[in-house]
Amino acid sequence: MALIKCPDCGRDVSDLAPACLGCGRPIAGAVNQPPPSPPPQPAGQQVASPTPTPAAPGTPSAPTFVPAFGGVLRSNIGDVEKIEPVRKMQGFPTGAVLIGVFVIVVVVAAALLLSANRGGPPQAASSTTAPSSASGPTTTAVPIAAATARRASAAATPLPDVNGISCDTLESTIFHIHIHLAIFVDGKEQMLPLGVGIGQPWQVEDSAEGPFVTDGSCFYWIHTHTEDGVVHIESPVRRRFTLGDFFAIWQVPLSTTQVGPAQGQVITYVNGSRDDRNPADIPLLSHERIQLNIGGDVPPYVFDFPPGD
């Protein structure tokens, strides 16, 4: 075995190799070509076999090629196409792209957070100012802090009892009736104020009867919510109440000759009938209509309580 040069690529290759390992050129077939066939001889002539010449002593004999395989494949005889290795893509900014995507996600999240914080207040917060389609009164907004301070103030400085009637934090409906009171001075009707018997400050609403006091620091058992002359008796106990109790809570004098600052003979009507008793002694009964006249006699008028009152 010896190393020879490939005729195509010049690479050293064994003379026993069937083909060049660099370019694929057949090697064994090129070195050891089969001898040409002898020309045909005339008939009857015997072909003499060549007698090998003995080699001189000390001369090495030529190597005999023994193919390692049965032959060289035809596909290895032709030109071998060199396949270049795949080149790796260089210079693609993968890290920069990932950083850019991360920055975009952070910016979008921050924008969504800011837009949520800058949004308007919940719809429930504006429900106090929205018009209502219901037939109930329209609420006048009162700060919750004011209501809390009102109740704290009432607890610190409670109003005194009047004729055994206390001013409680909440109204009671164990005994609940209504009466109507009308006062005329010199023939002119006087407006009975709202909030009599209700500790200030008040929470006032607009209703079909006009302004309506819905809340206060406390409620005497006898009080008024509106200016229409309706007096509410809402008591935790059942007892006898008189018109004098109401005027005492109102802190307005009442007698047979005086109604508040007005003085003179007091003419009293109860349910349309003349009543000669001291007006302070008139009992307060359910749906009773009381009218006081001073400075002149005014015929009693009929007041209709609201349905279901």
> pLDDT at position 34, please?
53
Taking residues 191-216, report their average pLDDT: 94
CA distance 169 to 215: 10
Burial class (CB in 10 A: 0-12, 13-18, 19+), 85: exposed
CA distance 197 to 249: 6
> pLDDT at position 307, please?
81
Higher pLDDT, 185 or 141: 185
Give 200's pLDDT tier (boundaries 50, 70, 90).
very high
CA distance 236 to 172: 5
Higher pLDDT, 30 or 161: 161
The yes-or-no verdict on residue 151 having pLDDT over 70 is: no
- Strands 230-235, 222-223: pairing is antiparallel
- DSSP, res 263: E
Question: pLDDT (tens digit, 9 = 90+) per residue, 237-292?
Answer: 999 999 999 999 999 999 999 999 999 999 999 999 999 999 999 999 999 999 99
Give the percent of the chain with pLDDT over 70.
64
Taking residues 288-302, report their average pLDDT: 95
Taking residues 116-123, report their average pLDDT: 48
Cβ atoms of residues 36 and 25 within 8 Å: no
Higher pLDDT, 80 or 231: 231
> pLDDT at position 135, please?
36
Mean pLDDT of the chain: 76
Query: Residue 72: how many CB atoms within 10 A of its CB?
Result: 17
> pLDDT at position 256, please?
97
List helix spans (H) across the chain: 28-31, 94-117, 144-156, 243-250
CA distance 95 to 101: 10
**Helix or strand or coil: residue 151?**
helix
CA distance 298 to 237: 36
- CA distances 159 to 47, 156, 199, 219, 304, Å, are 157, 10, 8, 10, 33
pTM over 0.85: no
- Domain extent listing, the chain: 144-294
Q: In terms of Cα–Cα distance, which of 241, 221, 242 is closest to 172?
A: 221
The yes-or-no verdict on residue 169 having pLDDT over 70 is: yes
Alpha carbons within 13 A on the beta-carbon side of 82 = 7
